């Protein structure tokens, strides 16, 4: 049975209505920057949407590189999500407790491995709780499923690609860090040897695509206005970056709501700032 939906997001009401469907799987992808001093896994244990499994982007990652939560090899991803009970044929609903970080990242990860039946709960756990919906503190019983990955290279960009694009300008690079970090006037939350941004990049802070009160994604028309104000042309290819590849996915999710599929520079500023000779604009 397919429960595919036309929007990349679903409401709490939709999820409540489909929570017992046999092919629906719910994923808690809550993640916090280390500087916040919060334990996402502990918060999951304290209370989560019934049936949700915990997806740790720092664990389901490429552990062979000295960069945070990089996209893992396909076989590692398949084994780890299969162990969580997530397989082909499932409609996966991802949420978090921190303004789409990292539910949008996990949404992108599944699509990067060829699984398009994945959506994000708009407003996350906060919206679920505000509507008075139930939570539980027990993890679901373990159940292994088979996940067969089909890597979608269209959704991923690496350092060499972005470096070549500085000269060619074929793709628009959209940096979603706060404006002060983009300009090199504020420090990064993790150590970086240089500050600034990739030459030619545009700036659309991820916070600009969220409702400031309800922390839901803005309506499509408002998103179009924010995108246009940032100088982004929706008719041209777009690559999104940020500090370490997490909040970039929030803007990619917003662009997908507008019918645009954007790629993610997975290493983002955490990688760019460490590469000798990488050009920087301040």
Tokens 């690496």 belong to 158
How far apart CA 27 and CA 94 sit, in angstroms, is 5
Closest CA to 94 of 78, 80, 109: 109
Token pair, residue 159, equals 């350092």
Catalytic residue positions?
A: 242
**End-to-end distance of the chain based on CA atoms, in angstroms?**
51
Whole-angstrom CA distances from 214 to 6, 10, 122, 217, 219 are 22, 15, 10, 9, 12
- Sheet hosting strand 263-265, strand order edge to edge: 156-157, 263-265, 238-241, 172-175, 202-203
Token pair, residue 146, equals 């088979």
Contact 244, 111 (CB under 8 A): no
Beta strands in 98-232 (DSSP E): 118-121, 156-157, 172-175, 202-203
Token pair, residue 190, equals 């993790």
């Amino acid at each position: 049975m397919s429960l595919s939906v036309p929007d990349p997001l679903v409401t709490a009401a939709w999820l409540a209505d489909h929570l017992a469907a046999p092919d629906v799987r719910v994923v808690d992808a809550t993640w916090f920057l280390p500087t916040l001093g919060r334990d996402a896994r502990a918060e999951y244990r304290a209370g989560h949407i019934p049936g949700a499994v915990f997806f740790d982007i720092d664990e389901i990652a490429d552990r062979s590189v000295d960069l945070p939560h990089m996209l893992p090899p396909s076989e590692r991803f398949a084994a780890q999500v299969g162990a969580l009970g997530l397989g082909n044929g499932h409609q996966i609903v991802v949420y978090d407790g921190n303004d789409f970080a990292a539910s949008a990242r996990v949404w992108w990860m599944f699509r990067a491995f060829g699984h398009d039946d994945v959506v994000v709960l708009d407003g996350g756990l906060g919206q679920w709780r505000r509507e008075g919906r139930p939570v539980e503190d027990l993890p679901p019983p373990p159940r292994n499923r088979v996940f067969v990955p089909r890597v979608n290279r269209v959704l991923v960009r690496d350092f060499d690609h972005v470096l070549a694009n500085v000269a060619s300008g074929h793709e628009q690079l959209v940096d979603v860090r706060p404006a002060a970090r983009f300009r090199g006037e504020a420090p990064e939350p993790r150590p970086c040897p240089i500050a600034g941004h990739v030459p030619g990049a545009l700036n659309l802070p991820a916070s600009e695509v969220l409702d400031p009160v309800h922390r839901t994604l803005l309506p499509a028309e408002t998103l179009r206005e924010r995108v246009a104000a940032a100088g982004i042309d929706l008719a041209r290819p777009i690559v999104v970056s940020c500090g370490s590849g997490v909040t970039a996915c929030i803007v990619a999710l917003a662009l997908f709501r507008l019918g645009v599929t954007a790629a993610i520079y997975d290493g983002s500023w955490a990688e760019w700032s460490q590469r000798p000779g990488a050009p920087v604009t301040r």
